[in-house]
Copies of this chain bind each other. A is one copy, B any other.
């Protein structure tokens, strides 16, 4: 037997899979998706007791490609590869790990760029507005498909964490542990405001064509670019930006023009350009709406304790002090509501500098906490 050609702490080469569901999916909006596909990846093996499955939910611009790499694209490494792999906190030698994409995505699952069976053309603007609740419904069918009755854990950061939390509400019996990282139980008006500006940038781009740009052969890259730049400012803490870029001038002195002066401008333009080259505008609009709408307490008069009463899982929540998008205070609200319900709750507040993006970064204390929590899950 040969040694693996790759880093032994990597899950190695992986293959994305797709599951197709032909039973219509009723959405929270009242609309119905006649059928859908979900893209997913798995790492490790489902044990005989089917008790070791962990669902990883992704955030805004990530996908089901959580760990490892594609054989023909060795540079395309999964977004949470620092967490998932042999010897890493989420270890495929112990867990059967499922990375699931969500409906509405532009990374392989049924979404706005998919063909609308009614018209034979891309859905475009007619693709329904999907919610976190809808994503959990769609993923529950994926779990059925994979023979997973109950997850050992559902884990995610940011929007992925909202899915993990929603799993405990939609399917209390199917989640033993929920790991909710860098999240909030609902967006603040300021969070919504940033999303709305991003949406307006996209929707007012002349290449948007009311969402039916696929058939025009154009892409609203200008709007996507601005949307991503706005997003990036909220993902990084002001302190981290100051540390990373300072007021360093790219040309050594002010240019007195509108080319790049400060390093931070160059960084934002680069991020915007890159994102607009691969992300779908209709998907971006829908993801931000899913974020805005997520508010499990809304049906309980704003009472989060009442809203979380039906959760049965044990919880680990993690927040980062430098995260100004979803501050630690937002995590503490959830911790409090869960404790009010006498749930088993662990909570880590990490003094990491990375801002909201810290959930994606390697930090010894953060990873040690996840490692410890995951190791203590009985299978």
Q: Kindly identify which residue among B128, B201, B229, B230 contacts A256, using a CB–CB cutoff of 8 Å.
A: B128
CB distance from A116 to the nearest CB of B (A): 17
A36 within 8 A of B: no
Q: Which of A100-108, A145-153, A262-270, A309-317 contacts B (4 or more CB under 8 A)?
A: A262-270
A206 interface residue, CB < 8 Å from B?
A: yes
Say whether B295 contacts A247, CB under 8 Å: yes
Nearest CB to that of A210 among chain B residues? B258
Docked CA distance A326–B258 (Å) = 24
Q: How many Å lie between the Cα of A256 and that of B285 in the bound state? A: 11
Distance (whole angstroms) from the CB of A294 to the closest CB of chain B: 11
- Inter-subunit contact B196/A129 (CB<8 Å): no
Number of copies: 2
For chain A residues 221-235, which have a beta carbon within 8 Å of chain B? 222, 225-226, 229-230, 232-233
Mark the stretch among A14-22, A41-49, A166-174, A184-192 that contacts chain B. Answer: A184-192
Across the two chains, which residue of chain B brings its CB closest to A196? B265
CB of A349 within 8 Å of the partner chain = no
User: B residues within 8 A CB of A30?
Assistant: 256
How long is the Cα–Cα vector from A326 to B262 in the complex, in angstroms?
Answer: 19
CA distance in complex: A30, B247 (Å): 22
Chain B residues within an 8 Å CB radius of A289: 256, 258, 261
A229's partner among B29, B196, B264, B272 (CB-CB below 8 A) is B196
Q: Is A204 an interface residue (CB 8 A)?
A: yes
In angstroms, Cα B233 to Cα A246, docked, is 23
Decide if A368 is an interface residue (CB 8 Å cutoff). Answer: no
Contact A194 B233 (CB under 8 A): yes
A241 an interface residue at 8 Å Cβ cutoff?
A: yes
Q: Which residues of B contact A351 (CB under 8 A)?
A: none
Residue of B nearest to A130 (CB): B256
Question: Do the beta carbons of A262 and B229 come within 8 Å of each other?
Answer: no
Interface contact B241-A190, CB-CB below 8 Å? yes
Whether A257 sits at the interface, judged by CB under 8 Å, is yes
**How does the 8 Å CB contact mask read for A272-306 relative to B, with 1 for contact and 0 for none?**
10000000000001000100110100100000000
A206: chain B residues within 8 A (beta carbon): 206
Known: A189-B245, A194-B233. A199 touches B258 (CB 8 A): yes
Contact of A241 among B31, B189, B292 (CB under 8 A): B189
Chain B residues with CB under 8 Å of A264's CB are: 189-190, 192-193, 196
Pick 11 A–B contacts, CB within 8 A, sort by A: A31-B256, A188-B238, A193-B268, A196-B229, A197-B230, A200-B229, A200-B269, A203-B258, A204-B226, A226-B226, A230-B230
Question: 7 smallest A-B Cβ distances: which pairs?
Answer: A29-B256, A190-B238, A129-B256, A189-B241, A189-B264, A204-B222, A197-B229
